[in-house]
Structure 1
C-alpha cells in the first residue's frame, strides 16, 4: 500500500526535490500539501489535498509521512508537532537551529517508535558518489589533505527573506554548510577538532555569506569552503593521499533538470569526469549516476522494516554539533575540540 505523504510547503524544494519523486515512485502517494492561500501544488498534481493549516493536516489519519521543507527556524517546531501527531518525518537540512533541538527531536521519535530522517540529498549527487567510490577504493592511500567546495557567484541577496534576516538557523554555515559537513563526516568519520572562519563579504548581506570550516582528523585536515563571490570556481572536491590525487568538479545535473521541469538521468557529461593522478599515471574516472529518488526508495524500505534509515537523526545531530562548534570557533578565534 502506498505511503501517504504530505509536504509542508510547495516552494522550490517541494516542487523540485520532493514532489517529483513522491509522485512517480510507486511506494508513495503524494497525498497532501500545506499551502496557506495558494494552489501551486494542485496546478501540477490535481489529486493532491490542500490544507490551510498545519493542525488540520496533522489531524488527517491517512497521512503516514510528513516532509518538513519549510524555513530553517521552523524545523524544530513543525517536526515536533508532526512526531507528536504520530507521523514519520523527513526534515530538510539543517536538521534544526541548535544541537539541543535536534537531540530532543531524536528522543521524541525514539520514544514514539517513529522514523525521523534528515534529507541530505547531496549524498545522492553524481559527483559525491564518484568521490566516495574513489576514497573507499583505497587507491589514494592514506589521506594527506581534502577540500570540499560549494561555491556560487551571486552578488544579489536571496529573495527568500528568511535566509537573509539574522536569526536562528541563518547564515551560509546553516544553508550550504550542512551539505559539506555531512559529506565530510560520511567520507572520513568524526573529527578531533573544528576551526572556522565565518564572515560577511557582500556589502548588502546581514548574515554570514562566506565560510571556511577545517576539520582536524589528526593525520590530515579537511577544509570545507563556501562563498557567494566565486566567479571562477575551483574543483569542488580535491583529495590528496600518499599515493596520488583526485579532483572532481561539482557537476551534478539533477537540480538544473528538475528546476526546468524535466526528468533527470543524473549523468555527468564526460567533460566533467574526475581526474585521478597516481603512480600509474593520469586518468579520468567516469562519474557514477546521481539519483535523489534513491533517498525515497531507501526510506520506503525502512518504513517496510527492511533496512536502516538512509539518513539517521543521529547523523543529522552530528552535523549540528559541527555547526555549533564552528560558530564557537569563529566567535572565540580558536580550535574547538570534538
Structure 2
C-alpha cells in the first residue's frame, strides 16, 4: 500500500530536496501540491507523475486520501500549516527549522499525541554521507572514548546585502538546526551549552556566524558555521582516547541536485576518494592508519522512515525529545547577549 502525500509549498525545497527522492520510491505517491502562486512551467515537468496542482489549501487538507502532509514553506508559516494539517488528521513532515519557538513545538507535539499522529522535522542531513562516515567510526570503537567532536558547515561568501531580517532568519536557525540535530541524534540532551552567535559580514543582517559547544559528561561537541572561510576546515574532527578521525568535504547530494542530477543517476552523491575520511588509532598491536570509504548518503531515507512510522507504527526518525532539545537550543541561542553559557531547562 502506498503512502499518499500532499505538499504545501512548491519552491526550491520541494523541487530540489524532496520530490527527486519521493518520486523514485514505489511506496510513496504524491497526490497534490499546493502553491499560493502557480508555476505552470515548473508544474509541466511533473505532468507524467499524475500530480494535481492547486492554489487552494483545502484541496490538500480536506482530501481524505492524503495521509501525510509535507510542509515546505518559509519557516514563519510552519506552525500554522502544521497545526492545520494535524487538525485535519494528517501526519506531518515539516522542513527545517521545525518551527520558530519552543512553545510552538510543544503545542504541535502535544496535538499530534492527542490525535495519534506522526509529526517531525525534515532532518535530512542525518543521511549526509560525511555524517554516516562519522557514525561508522564511532560505532567501530577504534578511537576509544570520545574526547571532542568538531563539526563545520562553512562557506566563503563575502557579499551579504542588507536584508534586515529577524534573528531566526540567520545561519543559526538555517544551518545550526542541522549540525546541532546531528549531535543530538548521537548523544542526546547536553548538560550545558555555550553559544557565540554573530553577524560578521553585515551588522544590519541576522547572524552569519555561530560557534556552539554542547557539553556532555566526559566530552564536548563543537558545531560551527562561518561564511568567511577560504581554506576549509575538516567537515568533522573526532578525537578519542585511542585515536582520531578527520573527514574533509561535505556530502555531495546538494551539489548534484543543484547540477540537475537525480538520485538514480550513476555517480550521484558519491564522495571522491581524495575526500575519504582518515582514522589513526592505537591498540595492543600498535599504531594503525585507515581510510574510511564514505557511505552513500540518501535524503530519501527520511521518507522511508516516515512510511514505516505511519503505515506500520514503527519508531519515527526524530523523537519528540530530540525535536524539543534542538528547538530549545535554537531559541535560547538567539535571546539576550552572546557569547554565553547556559543550562537547558
Aligned to 1:61: 64
Q: 1:334 aligns with which of 314, 323, 340?
A: 340
Give the TM-score, by structure 1 length.
Answer: 0.93
Deviations 1:231-255 (A, max 9, x none): 2210010110111110112331211
Aligned to 1:300: 307
Coordinate RMSD, CA, aligned: 1.9
Aligned to 1:211: 210
CA distance in structure 2 between the partners assigned to 1:49 and 1:312 by the alignment: 32
Instruction: Indicate how the Cα distance of structure 1 residues 57 and 97 shifts in structure 2: closer, same or farther if over 3 A, else same.
Output: same
For the pair 1:144 / 2:147, whether they are aligned, the reply is yes
CA distance in structure 1 between the partners assigned to 2:293 and 2:212 by the alignment: 29
Instruction: Indicate how the Cα distance of structure 1 residues 156 and 58 shifts in structure 2: closer, same or farther if over 3 A, else same.
Output: farther
Q: 1:50 aligns with which of 48, 53, 64?
A: 53
Deviation for aligned residue 1:316: 1.6
Aligned to 1:122: 125
Deviations 1:279-331 (A, max 9, x none): 22322111111111211112111122152112233322211012123234x62
For the pair 1:3 / 2:28, whether they are aligned, the reply is no
Q: Is the 8 A contact 1:97 1:168 kept in 2?
A: no
CA distance in structure 1 between the partners assigned to 2:262 and 2:151 by the alignment: 27
Q: Is the 8 A contact 2:197 2:339 kept in 1?
A: no
Residue 24 of structure 1: SS of its match in structure 2? Answer: coil
For the pair 1:171 / 2:178, whether they are aligned, the reply is no
CA distance in structure 2 between the partners assigned to 1:110 and 1:200 by the alignment: 38
Q: Is the 8 A contact 2:196 2:338 kept in 1?
A: no
Aligned to 2:102: 99
Deviation for aligned residue 1:183: 0.8
Aligned to 2:325: 318
Deviation for aligned residue 1:106: 0.2
Residue 215 of structure 1: SS of its match in structure 2? Answer: strand
Q: Is the 8 A contact 1:72 1:97 kept in 2?
A: yes
Give the TM-score, by structure 2 length.
Answer: 0.91
1:224-303 to structure 2, matched below 5 A, reads: 224-264=223-263, 265-279=268-282, 280-303=287-310
Residue 60 of structure 1: SS of its match in structure 2? Answer: coil
Residue 245 of structure 1: SS of its match in structure 2? Answer: strand
Deviation for aligned residue 1:185: 1.0
Deviates more, 1:312-321 or 1:232-241: 312-321
Deviation for aligned residue 1:119: 0.6
CA distance in structure 2 between the partners assigned to 1:306 and 1:125 by the alignment: 25
Instruction: Indicate how the Cα distance of structure 1 residues 33 and 273 shifts in structure 2: closer, same or farther if over 3 A, else same.
Output: same
Task: List runs of 5+ in structure 2 lacking aligned partners.
Answer: none
Q: Is the 8 A contact 1:73 1:168 kept in 2?
A: no
CA distance in structure 1 between the partners assigned to 2:259 and 2:191 by the alignment: 42
CA distance in structure 2 between the partners assigned to 1:83 and 1:113 by the alignment: 10
Residue 20 of structure 1: SS of its match in structure 2? Answer: helix
Instruction: Indicate how the Cα distance of structure 1 residues 146 and 86 shifts in structure 2: closer, same or farther if over 3 A, else same.
Output: same
Q: Is the 8 A contact 1:106 1:314 kept in 2?
A: no
Residue 331 of structure 1: SS of its match in structure 2? Answer: coil
CA distance in structure 1 between the partners assigned to 2:33 and 2:182 by the alignment: 30
Task: List runs of 5+ in structure 1 lacking aligned partners.
Answer: none
Deviates more, 1:311-320 or 1:98-107: 311-320
CA distance in structure 2 between the partners assigned to 1:317 and 1:190 by the alignment: 10
Instruction: Indicate how the Cα distance of structure 1 residues 7 and 157 shifts in structure 2: closer, same or farther if over 3 A, else same.
Output: farther
Deviation for aligned residue 1:263: 2.1
CA distance in structure 2 between the partners assigned to 1:224 and 1:109 by the alignment: 31
Instruction: Indicate how the Cα distance of structure 1 residues 181 and 211 shifts in structure 2: closer, same or farther if over 3 A, else same.
Output: same
